Amino acid sequence: MSFDIICFDCDSTLSAIEGIDELAERAGCGAEMAALTNAAMNGEVALEAVYAKRLDLIKPDREAIDRVADLYIEKMVQGVEEVFQQLHSQGKQVHIISGGLKQAILPLAEKLNVAADHVHAVEVLFASNGDYLEFNQQSPLARNGGKAEVCAQLNQAGLKLAIVGDGNTDMEAKQAGAYCIGFGGVVARDIVREQADVFVDSPDLQAVLEYLL
């Protein structure tokens, strides 16, 4: 099967970190945050029930976001650059769809030659001094079903679309007709293994290429 539009989650898929957990660690509430993130990614609680709570606890400033941006690149999953080179060379439309923070993901996207308007994530608003103000509460990606909404918007022409990710929120893209590839190379979740059209255990992201091309 060959897909025209290929979407990737970011955290625990393109990079081995969970950005929100790294921010929490820095803010001194790491254990509590990791538990919330895990519950949301395992489908145990609604994403919207934890999203605002997580950011209100952390209040990430611009400097903290820049640090996570560096970590995303530093902790890139094996094979990511090769996967993106291959997809670009074949003229595929490639997007990153993440419930993470857009400003932290953009440098990784740039490294992978993904245009900024192909990065769909939650924007953070800062004060003029760089302090955290709030996040874009209108973003569909701060709630369950958001990835399905974004996939539907991207695929109004009814092309073949696939999404690769590690979490329950990625599998929800099936609602928009996406072919869901579960990636367990960083975190293997039972709910994703059960719901994915295909599940990949390899720590190297290149293992997904045989299902995409």
Catalytic residue among 4, 11, 131, 197: 11
Q: 9 exposed, middle or buried (CB, 10 Å; 0-12, 13-18, 19+)?
A: buried
Q: Catalytic site residue 70?
A: no
Is 9 marked active-site?
yes
Two tokens, residue 92: 């595929």
Q: Which of 4, 9, 56, 117 is catalytic?
A: 9
Instruction: Locate 107 and state its tokens.
Output: 């440098």
Torsion angles phi and psi, residue 125, rounded to 5:
-105, 130
Name the nearest CA neighbour of 17 among 94, 59, 62, 80.
Answer: 80
Question: Which DSSP state fits 170?
Answer: H
Q: What is the DSSP letter of 121?
A: E
Where in the sequence numbering do the catalytic residues fall? 9, 11
